[in-house]
């Protein structure tokens, strides 16, 4: 049960992180005053995506393979 919750949270994070990355990228291209914030958003979203995707893969069950 706990691994299902972790997998769900990881999947949600892995789905939201690319959206945040795209918003940060657009913000960096358009706004010159908020460029530092946009770069922070992109870096944090990449880190969150790696953590979320890793959590999903760690909880992945391939049936009788392991």
Global pTM?
0.76
The predicted-structure confidence for 23-60, as pLDDT tens digits, reads as follows: 999 999 998 898 999 999 999 999 999 988 888 788 77
Q: Which of 1, 12, 15, 4 is nearest to 59 (CA)?
A: 4
The answer on pLDDT for 66 being more than 60 is no
8 — pLDDT class (breaks 50, 70, 90): confident
Q: Per-residue DSSP letters for 5-45?
A: HHHHHHHHHHHHHHHHHHHHHHHHHH-STTHHHHHHHHHHH
Q: Is 11 exposed, middle or buried (0-12, 13-18, 19+ CB in 10 A)?
A: middle
Question: Where residue 61 falls among pLDDT bands split at 50, 70, 90?
Answer: low
């Amino acid at each position: 049960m706990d691994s299902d919750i972790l997998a769900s949270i990881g999947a949600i994070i892995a789905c939201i992180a690319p959206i945040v990355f795209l918003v940060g990228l657009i913000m960096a291209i358009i706004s010159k005053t908020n460029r530092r914030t946009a770069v922070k958003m992109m870096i944090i979203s990449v880190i969150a995506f790696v953590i979320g995707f890793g959590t999903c893969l760690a909880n992945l069950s391939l049936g009788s393979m392991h």
